[in-house]
């Protein structure tokens, strides 16, 4: 019998992270459902997975807190025997022109998106078993360079850079490291504060003429977390064809 793969997924209580957690569980992986503050939502994800016959536990962790992140990995090892897959889906979004940027917002983005990614990546580098996979999250806006996304794109550009270097630092361990960069995706985080006309305009950007769904992103993550062993050190833009 093949040993069950074990995934730690941050930001898994809602949106894309939740879709990733349930997709990995549906494909046979045990899942640690990482969350920052939404305990009830995380518990619901665990219930959904276990009701379908899967294995899951919830772990609260501020991704920028190294002790809390280490404890989530400890839980994976205690409950399921180890860690094979790390998906770092937790993130923060703030929009402003650079001229009007509130530096407190910049610091908050830096803490979650840059420091948080480094903390999770560091723990992954130390703990992921040979043959595993690490998936971080960037954004297709890095390439689109849309106004008001300067601080967010700066943080995600950092994520792409550290992801590529980690892929090379793990040489010899058969561990893949990739970043997934979604385009406009119908999540609560994305839709918040946008009027119907704005959402419609963004939905028309890709040639497929719709917003992405969390499941669209989760399918790509699941591929990278399992069968996609020859994709390594890449940023995969999952955006329906936006150039």
Q: Which residues are catalytic?
A: 152
Integer Cα distance of 68 and 52 in angstroms? 28
If phi > 0 it is left, if psi is from -120 to 50 it is alpha, else beta; for residue 146 that is beta
Number of other CB atoms surrounding residue 230 within 10 Å: 6
Q: Which has the closest alpha carbon to 5: 83, 78, 87, 88?
A: 83
Strands 133-137 and 30-35: unpaired
Contacting residues for 47 by C-beta, under 8 A, at least 6 apart: none
How far, in Å, CA of 80 to CA of 66, rounded? 21
Block residue for tokens 């940023």: 235
Question: Token pair for residue 229?
Answer: 């062993």
Residue 184, H or E segment: none
């Amino acid at each position: 019998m093949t040993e069950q793969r074990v995934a730690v997924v941050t930001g898994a209580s809602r949106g894309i992270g939740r879709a990733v957690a349930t997709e990995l569980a549906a494909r046979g992986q045990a899942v640690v459902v990482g969350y920052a503050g939404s305990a009830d939502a995380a518990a619901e994800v665990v219930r959904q997975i276990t009701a379908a016959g899967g294995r899951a536990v919830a772990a609260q962790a501020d991704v920028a807190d190294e002790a809390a992140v280490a404890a989530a990995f400890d839980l994976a090892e205690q409950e399921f025997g180890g860690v094979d897959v790390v998906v770092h889906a937790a993130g923060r979004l703030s929009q402003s022109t650079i001229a009007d940027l509130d530096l407190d917002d910049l610091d908050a983005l830096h803490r979650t998106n840059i420091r948080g990614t480094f903390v999770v990546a560091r723990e992954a580098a130390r703990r992921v078993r040979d043959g595993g996979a690490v998936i971080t999250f960037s954004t297709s806006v890095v390439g689109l360079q849309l106004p008001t996304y300067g601080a967010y794109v700066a943080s995600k550009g950092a994520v792409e850079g550290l992801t590529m270097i980690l892929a090379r630092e793990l040489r010899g361990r058969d561990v893949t490291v990739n970043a997934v960069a979604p385009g406009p995706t119908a999540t609560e985080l994305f839709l918040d504060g946008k009027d119907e006309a704005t959402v419609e305009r963004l939905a028309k950007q890709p040639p497929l003429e719709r917003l992405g769904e969390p499941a669209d992103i989760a399918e790509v993550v699941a591929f990278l977390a399992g069968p996609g062993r020859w994709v390594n050190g890449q940023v995969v833009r999952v955006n329906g064809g936006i150039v």
